Amino acid sequence: MPVPGNLLTTAMAVMPHTEVERALKAALSLDVPFWPQLPNLSYHEDMYVQAAEHFPGIVLDVPKRRLSFSIDRFAEELEETLARFDQPEHFDISTAYSVVYHRFLALDHSRRPAIRGQLEGPISFGFNVLDQNDRPILFDDTVRPFMLEFMARRLNVQLERLKQLNENAFMFVDEPGLQFLFSAMAGYGDARAKKDLDEFFAMVERPRGIHLCGNPDWDFLLGLDLDVLSLDIYTNAEIFSAYTASIQRFLDRNGIIIWGIVPTGADAFEKENLDSLTGQLESVWKVLSRKGIDSSQLLQRSMLSPATCCLVNPDREKTVEKAFASVQRLSRQLREKYQLL
């Protein structure tokens, strides 16, 4: 499989750093590195802003750090965008929208087991970008189908660039908005989302996965046609382990689970150590084993990561960097214990 398992490490891309080289050093310290997203460095480095580049109708106010949408502007700009649909560079992330991405592309990743990219997913993008009436564009039956294809093309172009550097490259679709599908939000529900996401992933090249830190309907999420699922198990351990049947089906499809176990918030991080985190993670695996999931299969199909992104620590990037180092130590310890070296 292109996506490695065996408890190798990666992390989510949003980082609190304001120094490009320091952020890259942290990302490169993990087994499967990625290009960091640094919203504290520039508003253009925000994950929603990066996904919005060249999207028709977008109104970007950098000084006010505000992203919005105009349906009139969408109508004006749509024809030009459609005329450029066969131009890959139109869907890539420009240097104006990410210095870090292009710095990452300039490095040699050929000896890595894999590398990873990411883009904000259509559900979260559509929930968070509001039109002139403060209505999410996800609810617009005209805009939504275009948005699905636009985002799929963006993912495919980035994946192709990464595969030129490492044939095992894969992509995260960041979808924090999926947890809100089941909160009775007017105008869009899980049935519509399932149809749209099936259509979306049918356009996205493999390997592809979803990352989210929240607590969605795990049956829904594990049932999507994914190669990778990245989650915050530190917070959601008890809930996630209840979905044994769906987890088994996901593993049987050769899916990879990335267990986000090391907290990045300063207070939570200081309360934990390698022994406590190992105990929490292994307790989940033991529950799944007792319910019939083969432990060897599970470990072979698993990676480790920090639990969440974090931009709000008083020490800025220091705790996040400590969490990255802890993930690496935890991985080495567990790989030795389970003879995965």
Distance CA 4, CA 302 (A): 8
Q: Read off the pLDDT of each residue in 191-219 and give the average, rounded to a whole number.
A: 90
- pLDDT, tens only, 164-204: 999 999 999 999 878 776 665 556 777 788 899 999 999 99
pLDDT at position 186: 53
Confidence band, pLDDT 50/70/90 cuts, at residue 315: very high
What's residue 183's pLDDT? 61
Domain ranges of the chain: 8-337
What does the DSSP 8-state code read for residue 142?
Answer: T
User: Per residue in 135-165, pLDDT tens?
Assistant: 999 999 999 999 999 999 999 999 999 999 9
143 and 74 in contact (C-beta within 8 Å)?
yes
Mean pLDDT of 87-94: 96
Structural domain 8-337, CATH architecture: Alpha-Beta Barrel (3.20)
Predicted confidence (pLDDT) per residue in 260-289, tens digit: 999 999 999 999 999 999 999 999 999 999
The pLDDT of residue 187: 64
Helices (H) and strands (E) in the chain, counts: 14, 9
DSSP annotation of 37 reads B
Q: How confident is the model at residue 89 (pLDDT cuts 50, 70, 90)?
A: very high
Strand positions, DSSP E, 70-222: 116-120, 170-174, 208-211
Q: Distance (Å, rounded) from C-alpha 64 to C-alpha 20?
A: 23
CA dihedral 194, 198, 204, 210 (to 10 degrees): 40
Specify the DSSP class assigned to residue 136.
B
User: Residue 229 pLDDT more than 80?
Assistant: yes
217: confidence class by pLDDT, cuts 50, 70, 90 = confident
Judge if pTM exceeds 0.85: yes
Q: How far is residue 276's CA from residue 138's CA, in Å, rounded to a whole number? A: 41
Average pLDDT, the chain: 94
DSSP 93: P
Q: What is the pLDDT of residues 112-138, one digit of tens each?
A: 999 999 999 999 999 999 999 999 999
pLDDT digits (tens, 9 = 90+) for 31-74: 999 999 999 999 999 999 999 999 999 999 999 999 999 999 99
Question: Does residue 14 sit in helix, strand or coil?
Answer: strand
Burial class (CB in 10 A: 0-12, 13-18, 19+), 152: buried
